[in-house]
Every structure is written in C-alpha cells, then in structure tokens.
Amino acid sequence: MSEIQQFHFTNGLIFTGDEWHTQVAITVEEGRITEIDPHPPGATGRVPPVGWMDLQGGYLVPAFIDVQLYGGNGQLFGVRPSVEAIQATVDYSRKGGAHLILPTVATNDNSIALAAIDAVKKYWQIGGSGVYGVHLEGPFLNPLKRGAHVLEKIQQPSMEALKALVEPGRGIIKMMTIAPELFQPDQIDYLLEAGIILSAGHSNASFEEANTGFDRGISTCTHLFNAMSPLQHRAPGLVGAIFSHPSVASSIVPDGYHVDPAVIKMAKHQMGERLFIITDAVTENQTGNYLHQLRGDHYTLPDGTLSGSALTMLSAVQFCVKKAEISLVEALRMASLYPARVLGIDKEWGKLAVGYRPEWFWIPSF
C-alpha cells in the first residue's frame, strides 16, 4: 500500500495555476496530487498548527520549467558536458524555481552534443532528477542569423548529418532549434518521428517559409525577436509568421537586453498564451568556442555580442511583472503551464491540481 502524504500551507497566497487560496492542504499518493483542500481544518489565527508550512506572507506556486539554458554555478554544460555540469545547472535552476530543465548545447562540434547526450543518460541512470532531456540549439542554423553561434560550426542539414546526432540521442534529444528555410520536408518528418520538438530560430525565413515549416510540424520558436527575420511592413518574416499563427508558441528572454520590456508587453498582447519564458542563461567561461563574460547582469562574447542572460526563472517572472506590465498570474503561467504545453506534459506539470506532480516553489515576496 502506497504512502499517503499531506502538506499544509498557510499564511500566504497559493496559486494552483487556476485559482488563488490563502491556505491549502495538498494530498499526495504515488507521486501524484490526489486532493487539494482550500479549507483544511485547524488553520486559524496567525500561528500555523504544528506541521504546517508558514508561507510568511509569500507565495506558493507551481514549479517553473526552463527549456533553454546552458549551465549554472560556474559549470557550462553546453561547452563541457558532464554529470557534474548537469547537477550544477539543476541546482542553479532550482534556486530560481525551475524544477524541470532542458540543458542546452549551442552550435559546436558533434562531439560536444554527443557528450551532452551521454551525460544526460548517465545522470538519469544514477537517479538524477529535474532534467527532461537535451535541447540542441543548432547546428542546423542560418549563418545570416547566427547571433553568438560559431560560424564555422554551423552545418547544412542532410539526412546523414541529422542521423549522426539523432540516432545516438533518441529519447534524450527532446528539442532542437532549426532554421526551417534550410530543411526539406522529409528531414523535418524524420526529426518529428524521432520525438523531437522542433523550434524555429536563428532563422532568416520568409513569412511563407516559416508558415510552411509550421504546417509541417514545427510547433514553437526560439527567443522571439532575437536572431530571426524581423517583422517589416512589406516582409513579415519569422516574427510576423509567429504573431499571426493560431497555435505556434515562442519563448522570450525577459532581461531587458534581449528584448525591450515595451516590446515584451506588445508580444504578450499579440500572442497571449503562446508566449513563454526561457532564461537563456549561461555562466562565465574562459575556454572553448563560447567565451561568455559577465557584463553587470548579462553575458557577452569578448567582442561585445550578446551571448546569454544571467536570469533565473524567478527573476524572469519578476521582470515580466515589474517591467513589462504583465499580470502576475500570466507571468507565472509563462514560466510553468505554457512551457509544459510546449513539451506536451501539461497534464502533469504546470499546475497544482489532482493528477499533477507535487512540484511547487515558495517565493518569499515579489
């Protein structure tokens, strides 16, 4: 018979993903929430009963999900993949509320991507948690929109080049950022058949090319506005295709460097629930192809090219609320429920509800 656990929270605000409560009892059995009681007995007055968690006026919210970051706590997984780098990145993410991540590898030698795949496999084998899989941001990108990616490491897509990464990474590569205008239909079909979520990014696609990719099965896009063909009145580009599509989602990096807060607000108004948060976080690195240098509160390459953020998911949510004038409810969903939808796991992640995993995060204050 499985153990039944009950967690009591009071003296704060609890967001289930749908509703706010001031106190709640959450019952968990076999790793799933089986009951949420917003009126548990015994929570009266300012002093919680023994065994209750005092939220101290803070917030309890569904745990966040970050589908794009490269490392943390001084370990750059995307350049030197290892179990240790994964754990450092997981620890960094959890402090900012992200309990599920996709460690990401930027365009590099195939040996780096294959080492990343192997590291995640080993991490899972030793019981590591919090990693959904690998996100390969490249190497099949448009050189014209490479951003901080190394030009010499970008590859043209071919079935041989795709299979060199995908076959060793089946079940581990969960997302790949590609430039859709470079791909043939059978190549996109192959990636989708392998269970990989395709994200359009680092792309100079026309409006028509982008929509062709969306119709083929590309379901999301990588860091809206950054390294993609812009919205112009005679050439809508990838941004225009994203804005006008009924279902395609896109991530955005809300740190004030990647996108101006006024533009984040506009994008949210245009896209609604299709816009979600990533950190795009890196950490300082002095060797290899990505020499990230901390410039105050963001990272650049030595030549000044923006190369990543210093965000956590919590600081990204706070930026959305305080700078981009997005409601707290929507900012929280952009960090939890909406990325869960992108990954296809929104029936078990992104809410505190019956049937969902008991993954939550306490925020002292905003």
31 pLDDT exceeds 80?
yes
- What are the tens digits of pLDDT across the range 220-247? 999 999 999 999 999 999 999 999 999 9
CATH of 64-343 given 3.20.20.140, 3.90.1150.10, 3.60.21.10, 2.120.10.30: 3.20.20.140
45 pLDDT exceeds 60?
no
Burial class (CB in 10 A: 0-12, 13-18, 19+), 208: exposed
Angle at the Cα of 272 (from 268 to 276), degrees rounded to 5? 70
117 pLDDT exceeds 90?
yes
- What are the tens digits of pLDDT across the range 270-288? 999 999 999 999 999 998 8
What is the rounded CA–CA span in Å between residue 354 and residue 345? 14
Q: Partners of 306 in the beta sheet?
A: 300
Residue-range domain boundaries for the chain: 4-61+355-363, 64-343
- The pLDDT, as a whole number, for residue 182 is 98
47 pLDDT exceeds 60?
no
Mean pLDDT of 103-128: 98
What is the rounded CA–CA span in Å between residue 276 and residue 280? 12
Mean pLDDT of 322-326: 98
Residue 50: pLDDT band (50, 70, 90) is low
- The pLDDT, as a whole number, for residue 298 is 95
CA-nearest of 75, 162, 147 to 113 is 162
- What are the tens digits of pLDDT across the range 164-221? 999 999 999 999 999 999 999 999 999 999 999 999 999 999 999 999 999 999 999 9
CA-nearest of 32, 102, 23 to 69 is 102
Q: Which two tokens stand for residue 284?
A: 């300082």
Q: Which two tokens stand for residue 342?
A: 């992108």
Query: At residue 228, what are phi and psi to the nearest 5 degrees?
Result: -150, 155
- What are the tens digits of pLDDT across the range 339-359? 999 999 999 999 999 999 999
- The pLDDT, as a whole number, for residue 366 is 83
DSSP letter, residue 189: H
SS3 state at 97: coil
SS3 state at 239: helix
- The pLDDT, as a whole number, for residue 3 is 84
- The pLDDT, as a whole number, for residue 52 is 87
What share of the chain in percent tops pLDDT 90? 94
- pTM score, whole prediction: 0.97
CATH code assigned to 4-61+355-363: 2.30.40.10
Beta strand 293-294 with 298-300 is antiparallel
**CB proximity list for 188: less than 8 A, separation 6 or greater:** 180, 198, 213, 216, 217, 218
Is the CB of residue 147 less than 8 Å from the CB of residue 227?
yes
1 pLDDT exceeds 90?
no
Residue 137: pLDDT band (50, 70, 90) is very high
Residue 39: pLDDT band (50, 70, 90) is confident
Given the residues 91, 109, 118, 280, the one annotated as active site: 280
Amino acid at 151: L
Amino acid at 337: L
CA-nearest of 292, 315, 303 to 78 is 292
Mean pLDDT of 130-153: 97
Q: Decide if 91 is catalytic.
A: no
In the chain, alpha helices (H): 83-95, 110-125, 159-166, 185-193, 207-216, 237-244, 261-271, 313-322, 328-335, 337-343
- The pLDDT, as a whole number, for residue 41 is 76
Mean pLDDT of 96-125: 98
CA-nearest of 164, 146, 247 to 201 is 146
Mean pLDDT of 257-270: 98
Is the CB of residue 179 less than 8 Å from the CB of residue 141?
yes
- Dihedral sign computed on CA atoms, order 74, 145, 173, 274: positive
CA-nearest of 358, 365, 308 to 7 is 358
DSSP letter, residue 201: -
